[in-house]
Every structure is written in structure tokens, then in C-alpha cells.
Amino acid sequence: MDKLKIFAPATVANVSCAFDILGFALDTVGDEMTFTKTTEKLVQITLPENSNLPTDPLKNVAGVVAIEMLKKANADFGVLIEIDKRIKPGSGIGSSAASSAGAAYGVNRLLGDIYDNAELVQFAMLGEALASGVAHADNVAPAIFGGFALVRSYSPLEVIKLNSPNELFCTVIHPQIEVKTEKSRKILKKNILLKDAVEQWGNIAGLISGLYSEDYDLIGRSLQDKIVEPVRSLFIPLFYDVKKSFMDAGALGGGISGSGPSVFALSRGEKQAEKVAEAMRKVYSQTNIDFDIHVSAINSVGIKEI
């Protein structure tokens, strides 16, 4: 294969109770990336003219992933990566992860699929480390594996793809403000109360159980965050108003998507997810803050060729 084009999905990480270890892929929003083999053994990046992201491959998350993969494989070619960036940076729905995971997938295809999904996650984490200072996998894992992906261990890395109930839909509202992941990590507490940790562990277990048993009420009850949300919500205007609006509209539950400012809610069925979207819209329509809203099924395959 000398050329391919892919869709790299947006993702929701943390899923309220599972900081840094759980995320899921969306189906309706993502980056489009084109990969072309070149005779020069270089990685080249092109972006739309209005993009503020760097084209220097050493400063671009897709670039650092591609460079390491080609180096490790001792490839006899280079790659041109054209990125149609459709996920806004700092949105909280895995902008850097889409580019990082997309690069891992695309370069692997050009190499002849020599790496498995777990290895692709390892490579993609290099991009996340560049973007946020921490090599986390809760966005890149679902982007690559699809559906809900659990990072059971980072050392050694172990990713488990979980069940995704067919009727589960996600609504995400993205207020047009930027929250840098690196900044939002610095404000997190270094120590937490044992009672809060115990409650959080119970919610993680409940959420995973709910996904497998397709118990939608249990999924909703488990979407509680005692540790991160109280701190990061300070960066998100009207967060608790939005949360009240989607719960009143019948959502199962929800919270901050990744590091924010996006807020997600899970619902049973697309019609319910649309009702939640309208409730969220009403909250932000009363402000001067621009916003986007996405309603999506859970993307069970992750990155796909188009």
C-alpha cells in the first residue's frame, strides 16, 4: 500500500469515574488524514492554511508518532501526512489523540501491518506525551480499538475492549473555549481521601458491569466522579447548569469529557440523546459563548479507512 485515507474518531475519556483508564470512540466527528509513501526518508506534515498547529514533525503529535514508527521498523521510505483537522484542539474530545492514533494506524498500514493494536497504542501515546506532558492512553486506546476501551495496566500496557450496548448514544457539547490538558492536570489533587477512592472504584466496577449486562440504569448510576470533576468543573462555564439540564431531560448520566471544556451525557436511544442535546443547547444559548453539539452512537470499530 502506497497511499490511504482514514477517519480518526473523536473520543470521550475518563467517562466520569475512570480517570486515565477508560474512554470510548464517537462516530460522527473526527479528523480525516491521508498518508502517502515518499522516496525521501522523511516525515512531512501538511495542515489547512487556517490551522495554528505546527507542521514541524518534531512538534506535531502525528509527526513524532510517525518518526518513531519508521525508525523502529527501519523503513526504506518516508511519509507525507495530510491532516484535515476537524476536532478542535483543546476541545476535550481527543483532538491530539485522533492525530496520534491516526498516525499510528496509517503508518502501520504503509509498513504492511507489522504492529498489533496494543503496539499502536504505545506509539500513539508518544503523541499524547508531547501534547499534555503525560503518556496517557484513555483517548488513543478507544480510537484504535473502537468502542469502550479499558487501560487495565500501563506497565506493562494492557488494553481491554469492553462491550458497547447497541442503544447507548452520546451527546457532547463543546463550549468554544480552550482548556489545555497540561494545565488541567496541574490543578489535580496529589492526594485523595480513601472514602472517595472507594466510592470511585465502586463506580468503575458498576459502569463496566453495566456495559456488559446492558443495564442502562446501572450505567447511569455509575457515572459519578468524586475526585476530578469538582476541580476541573471550575474551568467550564455553567457546568452544573448543563449537568442539571441533561439529567432533567432524561439522560442516564454524564460529566466532563476528558479535561474539558466539553461535557458529555449518555442516553438510551438516539431520540433521547437528541432531547438531551436540545436541553444543553438551551443553557448555552443564553450566553455569548459559541458552542458545538454532537450526537453520536458509540463507534465500535474506531479508526476506519475511507
| CATH assignment at residue 243 | 3.30.70.890
128 as an active site residue: the answer is yes
**204 and 112 in a common domain:** no
- Within-domain flag for 87: yes
Q: How far apart are CA 10 and CA 13, in angstroms?
A: 10
Q: What is the pLDDT of residue 180?
A: 65
* Lowest-confidence region among 52-56, 57-61, 119-123: 52-56
**116 and 45 in a common domain:** yes
Q: What is the pLDDT of residue 23?
A: 98
The pLDDT of residue 183 is above 80:
no
**pLDDT per residue over 266-296, tens digit each?**
999 999 999 999 999 999 999 999 999 999 9
**pLDDT per residue over 64-109, tens digit each?**
999 999 999 999 999 999 999 999 888 899 999 999 999 999 999 9
**191 and 148 in a common domain:** no
**pLDDT per residue over 193-221, tens digit each?**
999 999 999 999 999 999 999 999 999 99
Percent of the chain with pLDDT over 90: 88
- Within-domain flag for 304: no
Q: What is the pTM of this model?
A: 0.94
Q: How far apart are CA 161 and CA 290, in angstroms?
A: 35
| 114-120 average pLDDT score | 97
Q: Which of 128, 158, 229, 274 is catalytic?
A: 128
- Within-domain flag for 83: yes
Mean pLDDT of the chain: 95
Cα–Cα nearest to 298, from 87, 27, 16, 17: 27
Decide: helix, strand or coil at residue 198: helix
39 as an active site residue: the answer is no
* Lowest-confidence region among 124-128, 194-198, 231-235, 245-249: 231-235
| CATH assignment at residue 126 | 3.30.230.10
The pLDDT of residue 59 is above 90:
yes
**104 and 29 in a common domain:** yes
Buried b (16+ CB within 10 A) or exposed e, 239-277: beebbebbbebbbbbbbbbbbbbbbbbbbbeeebbbbbb
Q: How far apart are CA 1 and CA 198, in angstroms?
A: 49
The pLDDT of residue 151 is above 80:
yes
Of the pLDDT bands very low, low, confident and very high (cuts 50, 70, 90), residue 187 is: low
Helix H or strand E encompassing 116: none
Q: Which of 11, 68, 181, 229 is catalytic?
A: 181
Of the pLDDT bands very low, low, confident and very high (cuts 50, 70, 90), residue 259 is: confident
Apex CA 108: angle with CA 106 and CA 109, to 5°?
A: 65
- Within-domain flag for 306: no
Please say which residue of 162, 178, 196 terminates a domain. 162
- Within-domain flag for 303: no
Contact 227, 193 (CB under 8 A): no
**60 and 172 in a common domain:** no
The pLDDT of residue 42 is above 80:
yes
Q: How many domains, in total, are found in the chain?
A: 2
Q: How far apart are CA 216 and CA 210, in angstroms?
A: 6
- Within-domain flag for 133: yes
Q: What is the pLDDT of residue 80?
A: 98
- The distance in angstroms from the start CA to the end CA of the chain is 14
Q: What is the pLDDT of residue 51?
A: 85
Helix H or strand E encompassing 303: none
**10 and 130 in a common domain:** yes
Q: Which residue matches cell numbers 479499558?
A: 150
Q: How far apart are CA 104 and CA 122, in angstroms?
A: 9
Contact 237, 289 (CB under 8 A): yes
Of the pLDDT bands very low, low, confident and very high (cuts 50, 70, 90), residue 190 is: confident
Q: How far apart are CA 19 and CA 138, in angstroms?
A: 8
- Residue 65: domain span: 3-162
| 124-141 average pLDDT score | 94
* Lowest-confidence region among 12-16, 55-59, 168-172, 257-261: 257-261
Q: What is the pLDDT of residue 181?
A: 61
**262 and 156 in a common domain:** no
| 41-68 average pLDDT score | 94
